[in-house]
Amino acid sequence: MLLGIPRGFFYYDYNPFITTIFENTGCRLVMGKDNDHETLERGMEHTVDEACMPVKLFAGQIEKLVEECDYILLARVMKDCKGKWLCPKLLGLPELCVGSSGKEKLISTEPLYFNDKRLLKKAMWKVCRQMKVNKRVFDFNFDRAYREQLRIAQGKSRAYVEAAWEFVPDIPKEGEIILPNTRTVFLAGHCYNVFDKFSNGNIMKKLDELGIGIVTEKDILQREKEKALNSAGLMKEPYWESVERILGGILCAKDRVDGIIYLSSFSCGQDSIILELVKYYAGDMPMLVLKLDEHQASAGVETRLEAFDDLLRREGDDDRYIS
């Protein structure tokens, strides 16, 4: 049996969990291929116009996997390991994908609460039983998968999918001299924007060509982000897990970076809140917000990055602005 896993949303943070669950079960996992213009165009045909680009890419991934898989798994992840809520689009992912041309192949899980091991196991077993997975194999795999997911959530381990999406500089040619990066930025945003090279226009490569180093929230331990956020003086505990990851990461790194680049999907509701918090706590640190949608052009992104690089090069604290 071929089980398709779309490359988007839960894929980046929860792929190791899903992969481990189906080890030695007779199900062969087929991972979605890299996103491209065809994926986006096909996704736009099968979802509403108002959807953000990650939703359209996810729908496009389904359209491609339908052609080669028996079933496609949609994980309805509700809460993370600490009990924080995820993006509403992810919560309602099965409903957003009902327009798929192969909707009869879609298998959606019951709500997945990663902060409740018993409920999580019950929901995953319901899907695995539907695919004739042996119960003893499932029990063994689930315990391993859950332990690893906890390690990833705590920052003690990294989802290998994320590492695969990170930019790796080209190998220097013979005789070529590579100068060290003299400026560093914090690349902020949801993981499916930061680590998807198609969505962000391969921004990591562009920044490397400008001689700018990169720090992401994945480079910072979870306990450090929590500590920084607790010291920030917020009026109430963040409701969304993305607030803790993104804002907490920025608070930890702001003293060792020269600026912030925030990748935000057009029409993202969470970002409308997070961005205001980031701007407030960033103070006078240079900050660039790049809105990601299906109409973005590579030349426009490069121009804005070059202008931001000029800003970072300015000397003196008095030359700092938010753009």
As given in the structure block, the two tokens for residue 51 are 């959807």
As given in the structure block, the two tokens for residue 103 are 């909707």
Q: How far is CA 238 from CA 197, 233, 258, in A?
A: 29, 11, 26
As given in the structure block, the two tokens for residue 57 are 């890419």
| For residue 128, pLDDT beyond 90 | yes
pLDDT at 239: 86
Question: What structural domains does the chain harbor?
Answer: 2-161 (3.40.50.11890), 169-319 (3.40.50)
Closest of 141, 108, 114 to residue 126, by C-alpha: 108
pLDDT at 163: 41
Least confident of 49-58, 120-129, 313-322: 313-322
User: Residue 24 and residue 128: Cα distance in Å, rounded?
Assistant: 12
No. of H helices and E strands in the chain?
14, 10
- Going by the DSSP 8-state scheme, the letter that residue 188 receives in this structure is E
pLDDT at 300: 83
Bigger pLDDT: 100 or 86? 86
- pLDDT tens digits, residue range 212-255? 999 998 888 888 998 999 999 888 888 888 998 999 999 999 99
pLDDT at 186: 95
Least confident of 37-46, 97-106, 174-183, 202-211: 174-183
Residue 16 host element (H or E) = helix 10-21
pLDDT at 165: 45
pLDDT at 88: 83
User: Residue 193 and residue 287: Cα distance in Å, rounded?
Assistant: 17
Which residues partner with 230 through β-bridges?
none
Torsion over CA: 319, 315, 306, 225 (sign): negative
